[in-house]
Structure 1
Amino acid sequence: MNFGSINIKGAGGAGKAMGIRGMVMKYNLSFLDIQETQFRDLPLNKIRRFWDNTGFEYSKMDADGRSGGLLSMWNPCVFNKDLEEKNQNYIIVKGRITREDVDLVIVNIYGSTLKANRRRMWEELLAAKNSISGHWILLGDFNEVRFLEDRFNSVFDDAAMCFNIFISKGGFQEYNMGGMKYTFLSGDGTNLSKIDRVLVCDNFMGKWTNASLLALNREISYHSPLILTTVNNSFGPSPFRLFNSWFSLSGFDEAVKRGLSKNCDSRFMDEVVAVKLKAIKDELKQWQKK
């Protein structure tokens, strides 16, 4: 099951909807969380534009004036909803993955810009976690950083302490994030921070140990879309055994170069690569024996 999350900074405009729709199709998303729709009453015809041509279900929370607004969407063939709870800053959706005996609790989060409101939200979410069983995953714009290195060219404050206490008490963890180090760029282009993130409980991490988290380029808004995939991408066995320690040994570079110099007259580039990989393998075998 693949998850996506993005702070869209306003759901108006066909360009944003087209970009997110393309992301849903490209990464085969089964669940999508959108923050800051900035709509008081987001109509169904606009919601539909964010998804591909397959069926979907959704839950939304209206914006407070032009601030906030949440939208969660999912594929009902993959995820069956049992219950939901929501307020101005989060949507909790609990359900079950089809064909798997796994209960998921998925939380779409938009953290308030006010510290007091965020602290109240952490308390509410901890209470909800104690009362709603399942594999928890929180996605969205937390409006918080955890560490000093999560900010660039901006002030680090003590609010991170409350956020880290919430993470510790809730038993949440994070996957290593690839792609971008910072997820948010300020409007004037001077400040960077990692305020968009994905938190998962121990059970989630234990079940999908090899899940991968990717922060995409900021093309739809000032926030990076986040993609979490639990699919185990296996490309089969490696072409040949290779140890990092070999790189510093005498003769290694020369063996690789001899393999690369192997000629292949095929016009198919994949066949050329295969021939050269086999040649490198053979040369390394001979080098290793010597």
Structure 2
Amino acid sequence: MNWASLNVKGAGGLGKASLVRSLLKENNISFLALQETQMCNLTEARIRKFWDGSTMEYIKFDASGRSGGIVSIWNPGLFKKDMEMVDRNFIMVRGELIGAGIEISVINVYAQSTGTERRRLWNSLLSILDELQGLCLLIRDFNEVRVPEDRWNSNFDSNNALHFNNFIGSAGLLEYPMSGRSWLDIPGLEEVVKKGLGCHGNERFKDQLLGCKLKGVKDEAKNGEKHAKRPKKKNSLKRSIK
């Protein structure tokens, strides 16, 4: 099952819905998380414009005026919801991946622009994650960066970054790219993994170093795929909660 997250900066903009639909089709997306709908009365008809016309289920939290607004949409044939939790900054949906028998919690996060509000959100999410069992996936707009190199056209706030990194570490989260190819079944996988894990970087955090090594494995796998001419797929992020 493939996942996608997108800050649409207004669900009413011309052409946005059709662009999202094309992305869903191209990447075979079955769970879509939208942030900043900026609509205080988002209708089901409007939400359906972002889907591909197939059966869907959704949960939303409307914007306050032109601020915020989040929606989670999914294919009920692949994901069966059994519980939900809604807040102005997140939507948590827990359910089963149909056919796999796997329980997973999916949290669509939209963080506010102020550091105080974001710290409140980190604490709320930590409390929720502590209660969850099994796999958990956060797809989001955190509105925060971890290191100065990630900040563009604005000032880096080391204090906010510290709180953000503490949240990631306390929650046991791992950061992965949300795009790429499926490489688990390529010939010579063992050799690919060995070469990829030999990657060494200058990352400051353990999870970033792990991400570097995983990227190395993926890059090696891509080289193998080029020779095998395998079709494109989209990766997803999963985390195991102890």
Q: TM-score range by the shorter chain?
A: 0.7 to 0.9
SS at match of 1:30: strand
* Residues 39-59 of structure 1, C-alpha deviations (whole Å, 9 max, x = no match): 111111111111112111000
Greater than 2 Å deviation, 4+ residue runs: 231-238
Q: Amino acid of the residue matched to residue 169 of structure 2?
A: S
In the TM superposition, what is the alpha-carbon distance from 1:133 to its structure 2 partner? 1.7
In structure 1, what is the Cα distance between the partners aligned to 2:55 and 2:162? 42
User: Once the two structures are superposed, what CA deviation does each residue of 1:80-116 show, in whole Å capped at 9, x if it has no partner?
Assistant: 0011101111101111101112111111111011111
1:272-287 to 2 correspondence within 5 Å? Answer: none
For 1:242-257, what aligned pairs fall within 5 Å after superposition? none
Amino acid in structure 2 at the alignment position of 1:20: V
Runs of 5+ consecutive residues of structure 1 not aligned to the other structure? 178-212, 215-227, 239-243, 245-273, 275-290
Equivalent positions of 1:1-290 (< 5 A) are 1-157=1-157, 158-175=159-176, 177=177, 213-214=178-179, 232=183, 234=185, 236=187
Per-residue deviation, 1:152: 3.2
SS at match of 2:51: coil
Percent identity, please: 42
Q: For this pair of structures, how many residues does the alignment match?
A: 191
How far, CA to CA, are the matches of 1:159 and 1:152 in structure 2?
A: 15
* Structure 2 counterpart of 1:161, one-letter code: L
The equivalent of 1:271 in structure 2 is none
Match of 2:220 in 1: none
Cα distance in 1 between the residues matched to 2:152 and 2:40: 33
- Determine which structure has more spread, i.e. the larger CA radius of gyration: 1
Equivalent-residue separation in structure 2 for 1:233 and 1:28 (angstroms): 18
Q: Aligned to 2:29, what secondary structure does the other structure show?
A: coil
- Normalising by the residue count of structure 1, what TM-score does the alignment of the two structures yield? 0.62
Tell me the CA shift for residue 139 of structure 1: 1.1
- With normalisation by structure 2, the TM-score equals 0.74
Quick one: which amino acid aligns to residue 74 of structure 2? W
Q: Residue 91 of structure 2 aligns to which amino acid in structure 1? A: I
Unaligned runs of 5+ in 2: 190-194, 196-226, 228-242
Give the Cα–Cα distance (whole angstroms) in 1 for the partners of residues 63 and 46 of structure 2. 15
